[in-house]
Structure 1
Amino acid sequence: MNDQGQQYRGAWTVWIVGLAAYLLAVFHRSSLAVAGLVASERFDITAAQLSTFVMLQLLVYAGMQIPVGLAVDRFGPRAVMLAGAVVLTLSQAGFAFAESYATALTARFFVGMGDAMTFVCLLRLVNAWFSPGRIPQITLLTGPIGQLGGIIAAVPMTWAFSNLGWTKAYLFAAGLGLLVTIAVLLLVRDEPHARSVRGPALSWTRIRTSLAASWEHPGTRLGFWMHFVTQFSSTVLGLLWGYPFFVRGEHTSEAFAGMLLTLMVVAVMFAGPVLGRLIGNHPWHRSTIVLTIVSAIVVAWTAVLAWPGDAPGWLLVVMVIAVGVGGPASMIGFDLVRTSNPIDRLSTATGIVNQAGFLASLITVIAVGVILDATGQNFKAAMSFQYVLWALGLTQVWRYRVKTRARLVRDDPERWARHAGIG
């Protein structure tokens, strides 16, 4: 096999192993989606306290994105991904044995930390191993396939909690992390011609310069708000409030609620490749695609929340499909980062954007828990909080879409003239 063929095979090997690490991270992140009611009984906590699990996890995840991006640019994605796999494995094992609320919170803190050290690394590997023309498709395929971790959390974990119990279910999950760690160690290389790469040493001056240059570009900010407005609804449903909302808010059966969460993840998986091809063929209309998808999500949620009494099953199906499409749509923000930043600060800019959707999710998770406690478990009132963030996000996407186009007109008028638009 010639060098080109070996590199092609190596690219897919690295991607598959990195994807396995990301899939497991999503599983760990999503494991509370079907364990929320069990956790409430195990730790004897309120809805607001239950939301603190996910709040803390998301806060750590979002807060770690910029440090992780800087670390990847400095130490390479392989080293950071390895560290993340080890942290996830140990923290999930700790969660399995947690008997007190405080111990469980500590474990989820480290779950968020390990989770944060996975996805940015995988995107950096994709950019290092694949050709520029293939990167958008692989990027939008990566997120949806990784969401299989949500399916693993939604159906088998429901069975595991009922038949194996809390400790054994989470110990099994932790054991999978050991296998992933070994695979990353043996099979992942930072670049085709280097097992590990190192960037310039970090200093406060370099950190400030990299962050400022990344954030200064309106394309990075456009990507940030794209990620913010598209992802949070599916994340909030998948991580914590979806199962209680369907069972207690819409009075569905537990089996139907699990099916809806699984269907949402299936929608994520099918939408990813379609959106990847769409933005690959129409890169100058990325923000238009995002605006259209978010509008569909808002319409679907409005129909459910405005329905007198419990919404019919078919409408809940339509809603979770629309919400599911928002997951891969958030990946479009990373494509804006790729085309707006040089490779030496790509992971830093990616970290900035990746915290956006989780910041929005964190705010929503907290708000839903607080509103539920304040209104006596009125789920429709609690879920209506999403309109605040949709309004903010859509406004900012439109604002930075205009600014990004103006930057291109200024910096590359010939390119603008050829394509008549960006974003």
Structure 2
Amino acid sequence: MPSSISASVQKTIPQSKNQARMLWLLVSFAYLLIVSQRTAPGIISDQLLSEFHVSASVLGLMSTFQFVMYAGLQIPIGLWAARLGPARLLLVGILASGLGTILYSTADSLPLLFATRALIGFGDAFIWVNCVLILGKAFEPRSFSTMIGMTGAMGSLGNMLTTMPLAWWVTASGWRLPFTCMGIILLVHALIMYRGFSRRDMLFPADAANLHPAVTLREFATLIRKRTVWGPFLCHFGIIGTYVGFTSVWAIPYLLDMYGISRAEAASILGLALISAVAGGPLSGWMAARAGNCRTPYIWLQVLNVTVWSVFLLTKAHPPLALVYVLFIALGFGIGISTLTFASIRESFPVAQVGALTGLANTGGFFSAVLLPPIMGLVFDHLGLHSQQAYAVAFIIPVLFASIGIAGGLMLSKPKHV
């Protein structure tokens, strides 16, 4: 660890494997809860269209509002987490998301709906970078790829909660009660985290005034001039944004419109994708170990991603329903393994740069997620939301975005630091 980071940060490292695992459970469950809020609105897209009398592009813009807030904060959080403390920032994120979710469930106007999703995005922004930093201190480098993959799997479990279970709950009670309950659960976990972090002296270390950012703004400006720094950014742009942007807004309407299936069955397709993502997360560490690096398996993952989106495009948005199941499973598997983005940063760059570069790479994924929903929404507004022609044209967008991920994979540097 660089000398600019105080020894008090080192003290947050658990002294036993059991302590490390308990800390992982505390942090990863927070990530599970937060991720559930990213795709939950996708389950109720058609209800929001009807209740608030908005167009498809406006609904896509609401998703963009949330992701803009998220993406815009990634780099600042990565730069300053060492100074402010990743545990503190993680706690702030959970509190903001919990409050935002409760307010979202009570929104009675479009401006309030937008404002509450922005607050949720604000809270979400504090989660992943700080999870990476906390786990990076809790586990040895050789264990980090596996643990970060398992954390990603917990996020996929969070997504699963917003497929069939949420669809059934929404059908039974409407959409407001489930979101109120999710907000309350977030606030309760914030209290649990506060107690857990306080016991480990992670929130208010005695010499907190001596903490400094691992990378200064000037150093970061120099760092981003390097070509290899942008590899993880583009990889995440290609694989995260396409999946998150599509499933958070348009996947359920697409499945309902093209196949005439029930909301529960459409949600079950997303659920299968997330089960696949849960499996993919822990496998990311194994694949990197087998290949001897993160670069090789990640390039092949980007190729798989482009191939899957191309099938939707080449079949004019209407592949056989059985194949749709397979395609969503493949997309989910790719999302699970996408934690290789952060493992590749850890293996290729000095520890001092990991926080800032994690924030940069995460920005890439959600910058893509910001762009994709409203661009697809414009296509639907022009050609008609429920038409096959509109979906056939709209699938050009994720294919193009995914292709950028291949370029990112080729830009990844070979490991120099362990």
Q: Same fold (TM over 0.5)?
A: yes
The answer (yes or no) to whether the contact 1:210–1:345 under 8 Å persists in 2 is: no
Q: 1:264 aligns with which of 273, 297, 314?
A: 273
43-52 or 206-215, larger mean C-alpha shift: 206-215
Q: 2:398 aligns with which of 368, 373, 386?
A: 386
The match for 1:304 is 312
What is the TM-score with the length of structure 1 in the denominator? 0.88
Q: 2:374 aligns with which of 358, 363, 366?
A: 366
Say if 1:200 and 1:394 are closer, same or farther in 2 by CA, change over 3 A.
farther
Q: Deviations over 1:172-202 (max 9, x none)?
A: 1111012210111011379x78565548667
The answer (yes or no) to whether the contact 1:33–1:239 under 8 Å persists in 2 is: yes
Segments of structure 1 that go 5 or more residues without pairing to the other structure are 416-421
Identity %: 22
State the shift of 1:40 in Å.
1.1
Say if 1:6 and 1:396 are closer, same or farther in 2 by CA, change over 3 A.
closer
163-172 or 302-311, larger mean C-alpha shift: 302-311
The match for 1:334 is 342
Say if 1:302 and 1:89 are closer, same or farther in 2 by CA, change over 3 A.
same
Equivalent residue letter for 1:395: A
**1:325 and 2:337 correspond:** no
Say if 1:295 and 1:250 are closer, same or farther in 2 by CA, change over 3 A.
farther
The match for 1:418 is none
Q: Secondary structure at the match of 2:42?
A: coil
**1:77 and 2:86 correspond:** yes
CA distance in structure 1 between the partners assigned to 2:349 and 2:249 by the alignment: 34
Equivalent residue letter for 1:359: F
Q: CA RMSD in A?
A: 2.5
State the shift of 1:241 in Å.
1.1
Q: 1:249 aligns with which of 253, 258, 282?
A: 258
Q: Secondary structure at the match of 1:240?
A: coil
Q: 1:283 aligns with which of 292, 302, 314?
A: 292
The answer (yes or no) to whether the contact 2:82–2:212 under 8 Å persists in 1 is: no
Q: 1:66 aligns with which of 45, 64, 75?
A: 75
Q: Secondary structure at the match of 2:141?
A: coil
The answer (yes or no) to whether the contact 2:238–2:406 under 8 Å persists in 1 is: yes
Say if 1:329 and 1:230 are closer, same or farther in 2 by CA, change over 3 A.
farther
**1:16 and 2:28 correspond:** no
State the shift of 1:251 in Å.
3.3
CA distance in structure 2 between the partners assigned to 1:321 and 1:66 by the alignment: 31
CA distance in structure 2 between the partners assigned to 1:186 and 1:49 by the alignment: 41
CA distance in structure 2 between the partners assigned to 1:308 and 1:150 by the alignment: 27
State the shift of 1:234 in Å.
1.9
CA distance in structure 2 between the partners assigned to 1:195 and 1:83 by the alignment: 11
CA distance in structure 2 between the partners assigned to 1:276 and 1:202 by the alignment: 31
The answer (yes or no) to whether the contact 1:17–1:188 under 8 Å persists in 2 is: no
What is the TM-score with the length of structure 2 in the denominator? 0.89
The answer (yes or no) to whether the contact 2:86–2:134 under 8 Å persists in 1 is: yes
Q: Secondary structure at the match of 1:45?
A: coil
State the shift of 1:216 in Å.
4.0
**1:155 and 2:167 correspond:** no
CA distance in structure 1 between the partners assigned to 2:227 and 2:69 by the alignment: 26
Say if 1:90 and 1:340 are closer, same or farther in 2 by CA, change over 3 A.
same
The match for 1:164 is 173
CA distance in structure 2 between the partners assigned to 1:10 and 1:115 by the alignment: 25
Q: Secondary structure at the match of 1:362?
A: helix
CA distance in structure 2 between the partners assigned to 1:362 and 1:37 by the alignment: 20
67-76 or 178-187, larger mean C-alpha shift: 67-76
Equivalent residue letter for 1:236: G
Equivalent residue letter for 1:74: R
State the shift of 1:219 in Å.
4.1
Matched residue count: 400
The match for 2:101 is 92
